Amino acid sequence: MSMLQFIRAEVDNQRSMIGQQQQICSGMLDQIKGYVPKVQGSWIGGDAEQFAADVARKLVPAMTELIAAIGGINLNLSRAAGIIDQADQKARQFADGLGDQFAQI
């Protein structure tokens, strides 16, 4: 029996929740991008363009990096689960081979 089978449902649940968080962050970024023209349109003073530039130069790349990092968590969690599955399969094959050898004794 696989060691990960005991927690497989929880691992899948966490992957789903992490994916939802990634989608939430993407939605927030889209909202922020949508607010910039609104703020620029109602801004009184000369700093509206600087505000838009700061958002584009600082906030958007940081949010994009966060979204990618969250996606990386899921990618690495999937890889880890795959490694455990492979290890379990190899251990099962090894145990089956030992059973065959003991049966011949």
CB 73 within 8 A of CB 19: no
Domain count, the chain: 1
Other residues' Cβ atoms within 10 Å of the Cβ of residue 101: 9
Tokens of 80: 């880890």
Q: Which domain holds residue 64?
A: 9-103
pLDDT band, residue 1 (cuts 50/70/90): low
CATH number of the domain where residue 52 is located:
1.10.287
pLDDT band, residue 6 (cuts 50/70/90): low
The reply to whether 2 falls in a domain is: no
Q: For the whole prediction, is pTM greater than 0.85?
A: no
| Helices and strands: H and E segment counts in the chain | 3, 0
pLDDT in tens, 17-55: 999 999 999 999 999 999 999 988 888 877 888 889 999
Tokens of 45: 């003073």
Between residues 84 and 105, the one the model is more confident about: 84
The reply to whether 3 falls in a domain is: no
